Copies of this chain bind each other. A is one copy, B any other.
Amino acid sequence: MPTDIEIAQRANLQRIGAIAAKAGIPDDAVEPYGHYKAKISLDWLAQQHARPGAKLVLVTAISPTPAGEGKTTATVGLGDALNRLGRKTMICLREPSMGPVFGIKGGAAGGGHAQVVPMEDINLHFTGDFAAIAQAHNLLAAAIDNHIHHGNALGIDPTRIRWKRVMDMNDRALRSTVVGLGGPINGQPREDGFDIVVASEVMAIFCLATSLADLRMRLGNIVFGVDRQGMPLRARQLNVHGAMTVLLRDAIKPNLVQTLENNPALVHGGPFANIAHGCSSVIATQAGLKLADYVVTEAGFGADLGAEKFLDIKCRKADLWPDACVIVATVRALKYNGGVPVKELATENLDALKKGLVNLERHVDNITGAFGLPAVVAINRFDADTDAELALIRDAMRARGVDVVLAEHWAKGGAGAEALAQEVIRLAEQGGAVPGHGRTPHFLYPDDMPLWDKLRTVATRIYGAADIVAPAKVRKQIDEWQAQGYGSYPICVAKTAVSFSADPTLLGAPSGHTVNVRDVRLSAGAGFIVMICGDIMTMPGLPKAPSAERIDIGPDGRVVGLF
């Protein structure tokens, strides 16, 4: 069986100008990056308007498991299928983070016959967006230490700087550092650390900005620390937000690539789905709605994190709302949620499936109930799935009025996702399966709900929690931000992705648990408050035998070992 990279390298790619033309983008608005990637002019996009009746489709999933669900693959496959059915469709994906490519993860541009290409480029430097984001982030970091070094006129408290440095590398040695050593000419020693680039607030800002001017304003709003009186200090006060914007002026243009079936895809931005909102850029989504009849996009992790943030953060801020939602699951992953170890997932096990099905049920209920979205369940098909297992899932969903569709895009490309596409069209074009919803946003909480109550709402309604708690220090900080005028921000929960709870060992659909807010962060540029519930790793490490040891240039000059 060919690997993803082998399938990708066999693809008949079209020149990016041809793909742009197919998407209705004139040559002058296309800035090519090599023959198969391009950026689209923001000026040209600003002159376009959303197509009448353009539909937005969100692809989300059950809680992630080591068994694999295939959300990106489903997004690509669905996009190809919609194009096959005559719906002009734009696929909007996140850019993969390069660091993890050298660890275990491998590529993140789809898989099998549902990929965006050129996959080697997309998984590595691509068009340089992440490098630009890192540079903008690190310029602010350098400016902070430089300001302290040259007299600290703003009175920055060096012990309470919240702006670490970033690198797009899995490098555990950089998690916790001391900088400024070596004597006074190197500045003042202080504790510091590095996050991976996707964890940067600049990445979240980048993905929420609606224009270059909005980007600049948000970068200026970043609160990087406090002064000696504890008052928040902004990037604007260091006067580097303009230079940060300059560093991002090309990156902010959405990236156009193609699927294996030569359909256009915008791959742009990629914030973490825990300490950030986990969705590709607003600019790309808006561009898609201007260029196509359908935009298919995905959100990070499971629906409790990804979809909730897509709806409550991205859609709220960008005035969007999906017309339909696809919830991706696999029989394997549901059995894993029912307690079956990875090795035994190929064996039929109806009891375990029944036990694990509650995970899918809760996600579906959240999407259709709490958010009122018309939804379909897509089961990514594996050979070992039995008819009895599939029937069990179908029955559970039928009781909810939600269709289950088998998807085989991994093996068959867009043709394998046509049934899914047909159901998506039915949902999106009937104006919403849930009467009275459709394109009317139905956020989980209003802007003016207090921050603490917003978290309680998410925890009780989405996670099935009984209540939330926090140490006094954290409560005090939340109250302080509430009083300082940040109370209207949505919240962004950082918790484990593998459980509805904050405890990664509680699979299925735990209820009655208590969510403990360990720490909070103000992302004043992005415009949300991060509620950290559990241990969140913002700088991964490499495994003992990292992929970096396999990745190489093959004899024919092609990349090998990138899965």
Contacts and interface: CB of A to CB of B under 8 A. Distances in A.
Interface in A240-266: 240, 242-243, 245-247, 249-250
B135 A149 contact: no
A180 B173 CA distance: 4
A216 interface: yes
B181 A177 contact: yes
A43 interface: yes
- Tally of this chain's copies: 2
A145 B562 CA distance: 22
Contacts of A239: 548-549
A172 interface: yes
A510 interface: no
A102 interface: yes
Nearest to A553: B245
Interface stretch (A411-419, A522-530, A539-547): A539-547
Nearest to A39: B34
Contacts of A31: 34-35
Contacts of A149: 172-173, 541
A20 to B, nearest CB: 13
A207 to B, nearest CB: 19
A556 to B, nearest CB: 11
A199 to B, nearest CB: 16
A245 B178 contact: no
B170 A142 contact: yes
Interface stretch (A6-14, A123-131, A398-406, A454-462): A123-131
Contact of A242 (B32, B171, B187, B553): B553
Contacts of A562: 246
A151 B544 CA distance: 9
A33 B135 CA distance: 19
A186 interface: yes
A141 interface: yes
A179 interface: yes
Pick the most buried of A143, A180, A245, A548: most chain B CB atoms within 10 A of its CB.
Answer: A548
Nearest to A138: B169
Closest 10 CB pairs of A and B: A242-B552, A176-B182, A131-B131, A145-B173, A142-B171, A176-B181, A243-B551, A128-B128, A243-B548, A146-B542
28 contacts: A43-B557, A102-B139, A102-B243, A120-B246, A124-B246, A125-B128, A125-B132, A128-B128, A135-B169, A138-B169, A142-B169, A142-B170, A142-B171, A142-B173, A146-B542, A146-B546, A150-B544, A151-B544, A173-B186, A177-B177, A178-B181, A212-B553, A238-B549, A239-B549, A242-B551, A243-B547, A243-B552, A246-B551
Given A142-B170, A173-B180, 6 more contacts: A102-B243, A125-B132, A165-B167, A175-B182, A181-B191, A238-B549
